[in-house]
């Protein structure tokens, strides 16, 4: 019995000593990890700032199959996400964010409270340096668990590294993915538009467009101007020898519009014309490849370019529609062949219909459109493309052709030990 008592006393003393040791340990942790991600800063920031992108991404959790719930809004201050998988839970709330610069969040990961800081900095290699920092205070049980499993710093460091690697893997694949399809010759229908024009160096074009589109959109929205279709760029000149380009960023309108002299914007109309249509699915950095594919098709098929007609780049699906660059769709229209006759509206007695005829022709064809037109809403533009444009002259009748290209995906190493 004495031996049992001594053993019990020793175990009690060991437990007390262990408790004292754990209690006296520094429970604070502050861990920082960094990674260079080969994607533009605004794309990386937008991805992290939107909690919808966290689902199945493995950010702040090493699992990609958890069930997520979100606040009604998922971007910016005050938004949150919760997730659960078996007995593991997590939630993150964004406290503050500075656009394209930093994000501050509070997180609870399996009961562990933490502060999370994200920082986004440009690099000289068209990439983004992302700094992820996590700090907090461990409870007694968390300190005991950390001691048994190698320390809180090491565990947090692995989690942050995994999070950054997952973001890099997802974004690099999305940015590098693209498909190009050179389609058949189509009729690009006439359109009224309001636009903002400039002439600049080709190298300055992305920055110019990024500033011009939002300003034009604000004018359209504030004046309740009805739009019809997706925004586009009308290229007037593109001189690679001099390194200069002249273009107009445009928003298509439902009806003709008159703008007084002296306005910074102008209104106009593009008449219908024959065009070779080429479609890019993917990030705008692949636009030059799409233009080059179109020019090659024109040269190979001896098509005749019509230099009197506009070159158009239509942003059918862009950042306002999807945060995922791999889902963006841009349609390029290169004018070919002779000019088409203009459409004229012929008034008829039937008040329920408008008849449109193509004139002048020897055999006038008439088509009757829908009797009721729905007034389209103004399409918001959050950001517009940094486009790279044609580098060759082109042209002459057409054969249908397709060209596709895909970037090889990078290897996902985030699940490897």
* DSSP of 132-190: EEEEEE--HHHHHHHHHTT-HHHHHHHHHHHHHHHHHHHHHHHHH-EEEEEEEEEEE--
Within 10 A of 199 (CB to CB), how many other CB atoms are there? 11
Do residues 294 and 182 lie in contact, with contact meaning Cβ atoms separated by under 8 Å?
yes
Question: In the predicted model, is pLDDT for residue 247 greater than 90?
Answer: yes
More confident position, 24 or 373: 24
- Sketch out the chain's domains with CATH numbers: 22-176 (3.30.530.20), 179-367 (3.20.80.10)
Cα–Cα distances in Å, from 299 out to 71, 222, 289, 331, 336?
53, 45, 15, 19, 12
Within 10 A of 108 (CB to CB), how many other CB atoms are there? 15
Question: In the predicted model, is pLDDT for residue 148 greater than 80?
Answer: no
Integer Cα distance of 207 and 360 in angstroms: 43
Q: What is the pLDDT of residue 319?
A: 82
Do residues 225 and 300 lie in contact, with contact meaning Cβ atoms separated by under 8 Å?
no
Cα–Cα distances in Å, from 282 out to 132, 243, 290, 336?
28, 26, 10, 25
Q: How far is CA 305 from the centre of its chain?
A: 33
Give 3-20 pLDDT, tens digit per residue.
Answer: 766 665 666 665 555 545
Residue located via tokens 């049980």: 141
* Backbone angles phi and psi of 301, in degrees to 5: -100, 5
Residue located via tokens 């042209």: 395
User: End-to-end CA distance of the chain, in Å?
Assistant: 50
Give 86-135 pLDDT, tens digit per residue.
Answer: 878 899 999 999 999 999 999 998 778 899 999 999 987 779 999 999 99
Rounded to two decimals, what is the model's pTM?
0.62
Element (H, E) at 296: helix 287-300
More confident position, 20 or 245: 245
Q: What is the pLDDT of residue 261?
A: 77
Give 254-271 pLDDT, tens digit per residue.
Answer: 999 888 777 889 999 999
Scanning 63-107, the segments in alpha helix (DSSP H) are: none
Q: What is the pLDDT of residue 139?
A: 55
What is the edge-to-edge ordering of all strands in the sheet holding 366-367? 343-346, 355-358, 366-367
Bond preceding residue 168 cis, omega within 30 of 0: no
* Backbone angles phi and psi of 138, in degrees to 5: -85, 145
Residues whose CB falls within 8 Å of the CB of residue 4, separated by 6 or more in sequence, listed in order: none
């Amino acid at each position: 019995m004495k031996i049992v008592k001594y053993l019990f006393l020793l175990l009690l003393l060991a437990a007390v000593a262990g408790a004292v040791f754990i209690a006296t340990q520094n429970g604070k942790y502050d861990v920082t990890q960094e990674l260079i991600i080969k994607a533009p800063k605004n794309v990386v920031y937008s991805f992290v700032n939107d909690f919808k992108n966290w689902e199945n991404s493995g950010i702040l959790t090493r699992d990609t199959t958890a069930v997520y719930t979100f606040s009604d809004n998922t971007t910016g201050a005050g938004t949150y996400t919760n997730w659960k998988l078996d007995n593991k839970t997590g939630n993150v709330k964004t406290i503050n964010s500075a656009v394209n610069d930093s994000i501050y969040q509070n997180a609870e990961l399996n009961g562990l409270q933490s502060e999370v800081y994200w920082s986004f900095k440009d690099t000289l290699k068209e990439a983004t340096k992302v700094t992820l920092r996590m700090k907090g205070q461990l409870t007694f049980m968390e300190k005991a668990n950390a001691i048994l499993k190698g320390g809180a710093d090491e565990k947090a460091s692995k989690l942050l590294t995994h999070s950054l690697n997952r973001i890099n893997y997802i974004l690099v694949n999305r940015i590098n993915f693209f498909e190009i399809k050179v389609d058949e010759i189509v009729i690009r229908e006439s359109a009224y538009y309001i636009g903002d024009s400039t002439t600049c160096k080709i190298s300055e074009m992305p920055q110019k467009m990024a500033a011009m589109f939002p300003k034009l959109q604000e004018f359209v929205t504030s004046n309740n101007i009805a739009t019809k279709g997706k925004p586009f760029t009308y290229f007037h000149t593109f001189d690679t020898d001099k390194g200069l380009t002249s273009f107009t960023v445009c928003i298509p309108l439902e009806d003709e519009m008159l703008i007084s002299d002296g306005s910074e914007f102008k209104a106009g109309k593009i008449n219908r014309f024959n065009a070779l249509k080429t479609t890019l699915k993917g990030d705008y950095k692949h636009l030059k490849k799409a233009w080059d594919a179109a020019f090659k098709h024109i040269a190979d098929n001896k098509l005749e370019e019509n230099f009197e007609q506009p070159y158009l780049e239509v942003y059918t699906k862009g950042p306002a529609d999807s945060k995922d660059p791999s889902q963006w769709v841009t349609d390029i229209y290169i004018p070919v062949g002779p000019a088409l006759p203009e459409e004229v509206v012929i008034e008829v007695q039937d008040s329920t219909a408008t008849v449109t005829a193509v004139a002048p022709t020897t055999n006038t064809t008439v088509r009757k459109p829908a009797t009721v037109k729905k007034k389209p809403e103004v399409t918001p533009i959050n950001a517009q493309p940094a486009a790279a444009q044609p580098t060759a002259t082109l042209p002459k009748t057409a054969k249908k052709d397709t060209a596709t290209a895909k970037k090889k995906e990078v290897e996902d190493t985030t699940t490897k030990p």
